[in-house]
Amino acid sequence: MHAVAVRFELFVPESRSLKDKRALVRPIIDGLRHKVKVSVAEVDHHDTWQRAAVAVALVAESMHRLQELLQIVERQIAFAPGVELLDVETAWLDPESALTLGE
């Protein structure tokens, strides 16, 4: 099993309200959920007009497939209209420590 959780910090420069921000962030979340079939949610900056944090969880059968999916997700977010990618934080699940937890 291979898994990763990724947090994307976004700047939404054209947003002048929370409604404006949602109109730009919601299509990113919905697109990832439906096109790439990943778990995704807005996780921070809910009351800030020009900032958003989106987290994505990915699980795959191989490291190669996981990296492919991660690249697709990063491209979708980096090239989304109306937002700028500020930072990416990645947390990899170590399969060895996951096995010891389940024992």
37-62 pLDDT, tens digit each: 899 999 999 999 999 999 999 999 88
The H-or-E segment that residue 21 falls in is helix 18-31
For the entire predicted model, the pTM comes to 0.86
- Range of 81's domain? 2-102
Residue 10 β-bridge partners:
52, 85
Angular region, 95: left φ>0, alpha ψ -120 to 50, beta rest: alpha
Instruction: Report the CATH number at residue 71.
Output: 3.30.70.1120
**Bridge-based pairing state of the strands 39-44 and 51-60:** antiparallel
CA-nearest of 4, 65, 68 to 40 is 4
The whole-chain average pLDDT of the chain stands at 90
Number of separate domains in the chain: 1
